Every structure is written in C-alpha cells, then in structure tokens.
A and B are shown apart, each in its own frame.
Chain A
Amino acid sequence: SQKIEQNSEALNIQEGKTATLTCNYTNYSPAYLQWYRQDPGRGPVFLLLIRENEKEKRKERLKVTFDTTLKQSLFHITASQPADSATYLCALQGGGNKLTFGTGTQLKVEL
C-alpha cells in the first residue's frame, strides 16, 4: 500500500541554523510533491510545490529537493527563526488533483 513517512519525533534546532526535514514514500509515483506548514489548531498553509522532473526548488529561506529514485524529498529552512516553529507536512499528488499527506514533523526553533 502507499505510504508516506515523515519523522514523528520533533526536531529541535537553534536559531540561525538550517533545519532539514525528510519525507520518504513507497508504492507511489507522484507527479508533484508539496510542503505545507501547520500551526496548532489551524489549517495547513501551502509553502512549495516541486514537480517530478525538478530536482530542487527554492523560495526565500526555503529549499525543497525531490529525488524520485530514492523516493525522498528534503525540506530545508535556512537561518531558522523561532517563528518557523510549526508542524511541516509533506503531501504527494498523483493522478488527478488529490493530495495524500504524511503525518508531519514538528519543528521547534530555540533562541
């Protein structure tokens, strides 16, 4: 069955460092991979989309890589700030427009 894995353990890093979050998937051939940010009690907010034929996408302090051979995406936040603390969700989009979400990884950026 299709499976999306994100590290369930919270990631704690110091302010100014680069945070790297991992998304692994199996039994899936996604056309797109998306990353969302979710704050407690709120709906997810779209951050970045990367296509299967793209290796890397950047937006301000964010960078996403997509390796369809390894079936893995890495999400980087450079120069992290306490305001970046949230849960980050990986989502895969195959045929049609449906998204399948991972369980998310909680990021805590400490002063």
Chain B
Amino acid sequence: DGGITQSPKYLFRKEGQNVTLSCEQNLNHDAMYWYRQDPGQGLRLIYYSQIVNDFQKGDIAEGYSVSREKKESFPLTVTSAQKNPTAFYLCASSMYGDSRGYTFGSGTRLTVV
C-alpha cells in the first residue's frame, strides 16, 4: 500500500540537542511538507519542497533545517536554536496540481526534557 511514514512516533530530546525526524513516502508525490501543530493552534508550515534538491521556508522555519536528496524522503532536523520545540510534527506529500489533497503521515510527538 502506498503511504507516508513518519518515525519515530515519540521522541524525547534534551535541551541543546539536535534531533532529526524522518519522513518517507512511496506515493511518487513531487511535493513534501513539514507542519507543526500545537494545542489550540492550526497546523503551521515549517518547510516545503516541490522538487528534489530544492526547498523553501514556510512561516516558522527558524530553528529548523531540511534536505531533499531523494524524491521519497524529506527529513526535518530540529536544532538547538529552536526555542520551543515541544510539539506534534506532521509530514505531508502531494502531487502538484492534484485535486486529491495532501496525504499526511501519522506524526511525531517531540518532547524536550
């Protein structure tokens, strides 16, 4: 079955550490996205990529970094510069111009301890 896989489901980080969240899709989608969700707030766009080896900042990119070396993969690194990293992180993919919307992963819940 085609889908989008995020790992790990839960992640604990000590202050000052960088952590990388994995996102892999086998839907042959061109575009991939990272969103952050906090309680009572909507999804906020961190980074997105429309093609391999290219990505753009979203609304809240500070303290995060990404890479898109393969079409299937779009890992997100939460750096120590991110002041409030505890959140639910969601990865999504889509085919450009497709009317079937985004396909989301099941999310990674990151907690700073």
Residues of A within 8 A of B (CB): 4, 8, 32, 34, 36, 41-47, 49, 89, 96-104
Asked whether B106 lies within 8 Å of A43 as measured between CB atoms, the reply is yes
Question: What 14 additional pairs, Cβ within 8 angstroms, besides A44-B104, A46-B103?
Answer: A4-B42, A32-B99, A43-B104, A43-B105, A43-B106, A44-B102, A46-B101, A49-B99, A49-B100, A97-B50, A98-B45, A101-B42, A103-B40, A104-B42
27 A-B contacts (beta carbon < 8 Å): A4-B42, A32-B99, A34-B101, A34-B102, A36-B102, A41-B107, A42-B106, A43-B6, A43-B90, A43-B104, A43-B106, A43-B107, A44-B90, A45-B104, A46-B101, A46-B103, A47-B101, A49-B99, A49-B100, A97-B50, A97-B94, A97-B97, A99-B33, A101-B35, A101-B42, A101-B43, A103-B41
Asked whether B45 lies within 8 Å of A46 as measured between CB atoms, the reply is no
In the complex, what residue of chain A is closest to B6 when comparing beta carbons? A43
A22 to B111 CA separation, bound complex (whole angstroms): 33
**Among B44, B50, B104, residue most surrounded by chain A Cβ atoms (within 10 Å):** B104
A45 to B3 CA separation, bound complex (whole angstroms): 12
Chain B residues with a Cβ closer than 8 Å to the other chain, count: 29
With both chains docked as a complex, state the minimum distance between the C-beta of A22 and any C-beta of chain B, in angstroms. Answer: 15
In the complex, B12 has a CB within 8 A of chain A: no
In the complex, what residue of chain A is closest to B40 when comparing beta carbons? A103
Asked whether B48 lies within 8 Å of A89 as measured between CB atoms, the reply is no
A96 to B104 CA separation, bound complex (whole angstroms): 18
CB-defined contacts of A103 to chain B, threshold 8 Å: 40-42
In the complex, B78 has a CB within 8 A of chain A: no
A103 to B35 CA separation, bound complex (whole angstroms): 13
Interface residues of B in 77-113 (CB under 8 A from A): 88, 90, 92, 94, 96-97, 99-107, 109
CB-defined contacts of A8 to chain B, threshold 8 Å: 40
In the complex, B31 has a CB within 8 A of chain A: yes
In the complex, what residue of chain B is closest to A6 when comparing beta carbons? B42
A106 to B41 CA separation, bound complex (whole angstroms): 13
A97 to B6 CA separation, bound complex (whole angstroms): 21
